[in-house]
Amino acid sequence: MIHHVVFLERDSLKARVRRPSFAHTCEEYPTTSVDEAVPRLRHATVAVINKIQLSNEILAQLPQLKMVAISATGYDGIDILACRKHGVAVANIRNYAIHTVPEHVFALVLALRRNLFAYRNEIEQGAWQKSEQFCLFTHDIGELFGSTMGIIGEGAIGQGTAAIARGFGMRVLFAYHASPKKKDIVLTPLDQVLAESDVLSLHCPLSAATQNLIGMDELRKMKRSALLINTARGGLVNEVALAQALEEGIIAGAGFDVLTAEPPKHGNPLLDLRRSNFILTPHVAWASAEAMQALADQLIDNIEAWVEGAPQNMVT
């Protein structure tokens, strides 16, 4: 059988993607809208996607489609039950960002804890140049050593984050949740993690159970000196509540790499924040050159394994 492989969002991956080893034809599109999905996948047996939504309505119009290969870990945009109904296999990418995301977490943490942006702004405004002594003491600087990092999500990226935290001399608490992935990890009640963490970092998937996991009630349970870091999914945090918490000093700062809607074409309360204690990056924590190449290689590995009858990294 000659498979027809269609990559709907090629521009979402800045890496070399090798051609599959099996007999195939291939089409690539830089980006694809939902309205373009059906005509472009009409003859596809394998669809390669990133963020595009695949609903039951779309899948019902694609009888030749047999596999969806996601060039990402998250699959909340795909109707998994509909895939099962229509006999479509789904594979995702796993453990490719175990270094780059934790490193980004700590880039945010260190910039916030040491008030790097506040000090940079003061230099740009000439404050250091006007100082009567060799340094400025205008913003607090805190150490990580001896502090507590709370982590929600004990998967590979959560574990990678914990390893770096321990390297800084931090105590690590993993938050309890239903159906934990790792049975050999001590889990701590969420309220205790919220209360004791100096840094809280989110590393869990977005689902009905985790939507708005962190809202105003949870933010008020945190220390006023605490930092909130989210490099996972925007919907995990109530963004209106976070903006209010930062404005009112309920927590000390936050570093985010994700928003509820991406790209944020219609605005977002976090986009309007102009505060040195809030850092927003455009969903790039995962995007080191090394991680993207590992993702691209695993993407084709997943497709080849499915074609060979030994599927791996399957969602369904």
Q: Catalytic residue numbers?
A: 233, 262, 283
The alpha helices in 34-99, defined as continuous H runs, are 34-41, 56-59, 80-85
Give the Cα separation of 214 and 244 in Å (integer).
13
Among residues 125, 69, 112, which one has the least CA distance to residue 94?
69
Whether 44 contacts 65, CB under 8 Å:
yes
- Spatial CB neighbours of 167, under 8 Å, sequence gap ≥ 6: none
Alpha helices in the chain (DSSP H): 34-41, 56-59, 80-85, 100-113, 116-124, 156-167, 190-196, 216-221, 239-248, 289-307
47 sits in which H/E element: strand 46-49
Cis peptide before 263 (omega within 30 of 0): yes
Can you tell me the distance from the alpha carbon of 129 to that of 204, in angstroms, rounded to the nearest whole number?
A: 45
Q: Kind of pairing, strands 46-49 and 67-70? A: parallel
